[in-house]
Amino acid sequence: MRTTLKIVLPLIVSVASVSLLFAGYQVRNERRILRNDLARRAEILAESLQESVEHELGRGQERSLHRLVERYGQRQHLQGIAIYDTAAHLLALTPGLEPDLPLHPTAATKAMHDDKGAGEFLRPEETSAPQTSDAVPVHVYALPLHRDNEVAGALVLVHDTSYIEIQVSHTLRDALLDALVQTLLISALALLLVRWTFTGPLTRTFKWVRTLRTGQLNPPPALLQGEIMEQLHHEVTHLARDLHSARAAAETEARLRDSNASLWTAERLRVSLRDRLQDQPLFVVSNREPYMHVFDGKDKTMRMIVPASGVVTALEPLLLACNGTWVANGSGNADREMVDAHDRLRVPPDRPSYTLRRVWLSDEEDKGYYDGFSNEGLWPLCHIAHTRPIFRPEDWLQYQRINQRFADAVLQEMADVDSPILLAQDYHLALVPRMVKDVRPDARVAIFWHIPWPNAEVFGICPWQRELIEGLLGADLIGFHIQTHCNNFLETVDRALEALTEWDRFAVSRQGHVTRVRPYPISVAFPESPTPDTDPADINALRQELSNEMDIEAAHLGVGVDRVDYTKGIPERFRALERFFELNPGYRRRFTFVQIGAPSRTDIERYKNFLEEASSEAERINGRFQTSRWKPIVFRRKHHSHEEISRFYRAASLCMVTSLHDGMNLVAKEFVASREDERGVLILSTFAGAAHELTDALLVNPYDISQLARAIHRALEMPEREQTERMQRMRHIVREHNVYRWAAHLLSDLTEIRIEMAERAEV
């Protein structure tokens, strides 16, 4: 209540002061209007009498003057009339008026002297009347009288002005009463509004924050809309999340110390990077941006989206830890609206921690650099997915130009930094390391290649393999997912270039520069806080909820999560399901496989055709087996959020990752990380990089449809105990080898390489 009064009391004083000032203005204005009205009436009456008085004055008829003043001296508020000669001698006077006249009527004297009308308001003490309670204020108006065009006297009208003060006092009383009522009403309304919109929400927020200090993560209170309250709610909510995250991180670190474990966490990564980088910013360059702004709908509403990308998931913790800069392609149609004059934007939106620098590409440039050379050339070449790579000279020219544009942007951002650190990403930017290193030899440069590197004979198909390898060797460190890809790269260097390949330490020495090649299996962030639905009953309820949403009846669900890409083995997966239902009719109407397929690169003809091919295959199989309330395959051809996908992960009896060739495939690790109930079976292609770590999955050859069908049956029939043992071992691997460890090891090796080189130079 005291807080409310402190807020409302200044408002009450302000309203009362304004009301009193307005009341004073009303009184003053009322007095002025009444006086002006009286003065005007006196002037009009005097002018109407002037001619008659002058006529009688010229005749010398004082008797007639007395009759005249007696006849006109009885009007409203008019106390009387007096007539003077030029010597100020009284010629005629209304009976009873004399006590109220001034001893020397100044107005009369002034009127005769100036030969024009004059008036004045007199208080009781300024008249000749005795100072009694009957004395009243008056208004005296005098008009000169003429005879033979000379001033011969003055006509004086005396009005009683006491009515003016009475009316003004009534106005003052009403104004003060209005001010009092207004102050009371406004104060009461302000008191209610302040309690409703300010102190009430603040009190709820205070109670919520107080419960957070006890370790309870309650949902934030609902606050009323409004700019200030929304900002306060926004900041306090993030403060609460930070507090909860800090407490969780502290508890995790405490458990790790007790168990002598060495788990990498976001906090540990942040501290490690700060120690190693010594407050130097980190620069990251990739084609994909971490935040995209788009215009939505016909009303062009702008919204921010986080692209579904393993690169974004892996790299953002690095930038958050060291206030770095991320250079990326501004691909959103509203991206230009959000940047400053230097194409920069601070992100994340809720807590700006690093800089996003956007690079702009035209549709023609994007088509040649991204759709053409990167995804019709390098992508099928590296994945060996039996899709012929297409290499066009014009695409290669665009690829070179755009790589140079990214390199120029990076060089601009690091211009004022000594010995900058750059982490380039993936096959889209293979030329950037050399371009940056040629200009800034003091820069520490690493590039991580997220897709497979094929054997030397396959990569030799590329007409510009030499230029690509030379671009990559501009880096001090090249990272792949697995050792096999490192071996393939070194073999390719052996065949394509004159360079010293040091197999004993996996490095390439060329023109005085050493490039190390290392495997860094990328991973995901492992959730440490359990989700609400880890109980088997909750999992069954979630499965039923999803079945109802899809309008099917199924006791078991399987899930696949992929971009609709010909390297993911989606048609092979569907044909294996068809074979499974042929061999195991008992699972019809009991098991449904949900394929979450995000359309990808649909501007490329091969991808457009593949989407239709996969859809047709699903429809054909459903046509064979489906009933009114069941179908074997649900193909969800749209983008899904992380939250939506997580629900399917937790509810599925099995997850299928049947890549024909994959660098790593984070879907396999995401599925394992989400299964806090330690149930579910992962069916994993041996051609995915994740198969080298997740050996407790059911490993399959995706080209072997019968083997894949048998794996589905084995997964559905697997005893819970075996499921638990396999899932526990896989979860331990994913937890220990999480994305924070990947980032820490990659950057740790990069900084160590530079330190060793600096020491050699000093020697």
Q: Which residue has the higher pLDDT, 328 or 94?
A: 328
E-assigned strand segments in 271-379:
282-286, 292-296, 301-305, 325-329, 344-347, 354-359
* Helix runs in 83-226, H state only: 106-114, 162-194, 200-212
Provide the β-strand partners of residue 656.
683
For residue 224, name the pLDDT band (cuts at 50, 70, 90): very low
Residue 229 has pLDDT above 70, yes or no: no
Structure tokens at 264: 């990498």
Q: Please say whether the beta carbons of 559 and 655 come within 8 A.
A: yes
The number of angstroms, rounded, from the C-alpha of 136 to the middle of its chain's C-alpha atoms is: 74
Task: Please write the tens of the pLDDT for every residue from 253-300.
Answer: 545 444 445 788 877 888 888 788 877 889 999 999 999 999 887 677
pLDDT at residue number 763: 32
CB-count exposure of residue 293 (10 Å: 0-12, 13-18, 19+) = buried
Helix (H) or strand (E) holding 658: none
For residue 754, name the pLDDT band (cuts at 50, 70, 90): low
Among the ranges given (202-211, 463-472, 579-588, 681-690), the one the predictor scored with the smallest mean pLDDT:
202-211
For residue 67, name the pLDDT band (cuts at 50, 70, 90): confident
> What is the pLDDT averaged over residues 48-56?
81
CA angle 123, 125, 128 (to 5 degrees): 105
Mean pLDDT score of the chain, rounded to an integer?
Answer: 85
Distance of alpha carbon 327 from alpha carbon 323, whole angstroms: 13
> What is the pLDDT averaged over residues 513-534?
84
| Number of Cα atoms under 13 Å in the Cβ half of residue 310 | 26
Task: Please write the tens of the pLDDT for every residue from 192-211.
Answer: 877 777 677 777 776 766 66
Q: Which residue has the higher pLDDT, 526 or 474?
A: 474
Structure tokens at 57: 């004055």
Among the ranges given (253-257, 404-408, 543-547), the one the predictor scored with the smallest mean pLDDT:
253-257
Q: Please say whether the beta carbons of 753 and 444 come within 8 A.
A: yes
Q: CB under 8 Å, gap of 24 or more: what pairs does 200-208 form?
A: 201/229, 201/233, 205/232, 205/233, 205/236, 208/240
Q: Please say whether the beta carbons of 83 and 118 come within 8 A.
A: no
pLDDT at residue number 756: 44
For residue 171, name the pLDDT band (cuts at 50, 70, 90): confident
Q: How far is CA 520 from CA 221, 234, 465, 671, 722, in A?
A: 44, 38, 23, 20, 30
DSSP 707-719: HHHHHHHHHHH--
Distance of alpha carbon 449 from alpha carbon 479, whole angstroms: 6
pLDDT at residue number 699: 98
Q: Which residue has the higher pLDDT, 340 or 94?
A: 340
pLDDT at residue number 27: 86
Residue 240 has pLDDT above 70, yes or no: no
The number of angstroms, rounded, from the C-alpha of 632 to the middle of its chain's C-alpha atoms is: 41
Among the ranges given (152-161, 499-508, 611-620), the one the predictor scored with the smallest mean pLDDT:
152-161
402, 436, 404: which is closest to 420 by C-alpha?
A: 436
Contacts with 253 (C-beta within 8 Å, 6 or more apart), sequence order: 265, 267, 268
Q: Is the pTM of this model over 0.85?
A: no
Helix/strand/coil percent split, the chain, to 5: 55, 15, 30
> What is the pLDDT averaged over residues 134-141?
80
What the chain holds in terms of domains, given with CATH numbers, is 2-166 (3.30.450.20), 536-737 (3.40.50.2000)
522, 404, 503, 485: which is closest to 661 by C-alpha?
A: 485
The top-scoring range by mean pLDDT among 112-116, 608-612, 694-698 is: 694-698
pLDDT at residue number 627: 93
Q: Please say whether the beta carbons of 83 and 92 come within 8 A.
A: yes
Q: How far is CA 55 from CA 26, 64, 65, 152, in A?
A: 45, 10, 10, 12
Q: Identity (one letter) of the amino acid at 762?
A: E
Residue 653: φ, ψ to 5°: -80, -25
Q: Which residue has the higher pLDDT, 527 or 648?
A: 648
pLDDT over 70 for what percent of the chain? Answer: 85
pLDDT at residue number 761: 38
